[in-house]
Amino acid sequence: MAYEILFMGTPEFSVPILKSLNLHHKILSVFTQPPKKKNRGQKISKSPIHLEAEKLKIPVRTPKNLNNEIDYKFIKETNAKIIIVVAYGQLIPEKFLNIENLLFLNIHASLLPRWRGAAPIQRSIIEMDKETGISIMKIIPKLDAGPYMLQEKIGINKNENFSSLSKRLSAVGEKLIIEALSLFEKKEIVFKDQNEKDVTYAKKISKKESEIDWNETAQKILAKINGLNPYPGVWFNHNGNRIKIIDAEISENQGKKGEVITNELIVACKDKAIKINYLQKEGKKVLDTKSFLTGYKIFKGEILS
């Protein structure tokens, strides 16, 4: 049975899920964040979901704020009985959730109740979790606190970054939401309440967090590099230049915190060190360390801030 669905999503993470749903069900309309001005040229940039919906010839709505009468009326009068939400980027107003015979389902990228909130994938890597997963949950007024009907775990690989883990979790979400809708058709839905004692919150990543602190352990710094790759990225300041670390690994070398202890850009941390493999000067392209140091000098013995 094909359901008539409304879809709410914004980033690349949501795209495979939209494509899969479109193959199995009828997407009446897509809600996504409005186009934004990007970079110095102020070029208008549409979200990945906006671009994909246009390819699929699905109508797109881009309200700056959902809490308006036009979109409320549109949703209330639609034929859809289910709204799928995947990293939309806005809270759903309570009066929308109270529309009779309409269910809001969220595809959340964590094993709830762990990592409720805006940045569950990044936080799971930064905190060095061994596993994460996808939860299919009912949206209620309290943030990510609704009961879930399905969960699937996956392990977090060594040195996995945000980009690679996002792709794997998106593939799980793509599969799990089709399974969830199949259970609706069979009337085999069972929602399970979250255990409030186990709640953790994945707060939004702040710009301050992306600046490196050489006083942390090498493992912690590496986890942050991976968790914030590609955006916003972990960076250090060198002679007034912001330099982003794209890829690194742990080294057994030791030295003063922040000290460049080899000519291959191995930098000491609270314990051990990290060997920087790829980096990027602000406004420039990503380079491997050897190529980077050919055109930009960071000398052995320097203390990085």
Query: What pLDDT, in 10s, does the model give residues 135-184?
Result: 999 999 999 999 999 999 999 998 899 999 999 999 999 999 999 999 99
What is this structure's pTM?
Answer: 0.94
Q: Do 4-198 and 207-295 come out as alike in CATH topology?
A: no
Confidence at residue 305, expressed as pLDDT on a 0 to 100 scale: 83
Number of Cβ within 10 Å of residue 292's Cβ equals: 21
Which CATH number does 207-295 carry? 3.10.25.10
All residue ranges of the chain with pLDDT < 50 are: none
* Farthest CA pair distance, the chain: 68
Predicted local distance difference test score (pLDDT) of residue 257: 96
Quote the pLDDT of residue 222. 97
| Alpha carbon distance 183, 4 (integer Å) | 16
Q: What is the pLDDT of residue 39?
A: 64
Q: What does the domain layout of the chain look like in residue ranges?
A: 4-198, 207-295
Sorted by sequence, the CB contacts under 8 Å of residue 39 that are 6+ apart come out as none
**pLDDT for position 42:** 66
Architecture of domain 4-198 in CATH? 3-Layer(aba) Sandwich (3.40)
**Alpha-helical regions (H) of the chain:** 15-24, 48-55, 69-77, 94-97, 120-126, 162-185, 218-227, 289-295
Amino acid, res. 234: V
Q: What is the pLDDT of residue 44?
A: 86
CA dihedral in degrees (21, 26, 31, 35; nearest 10)?
A: 80
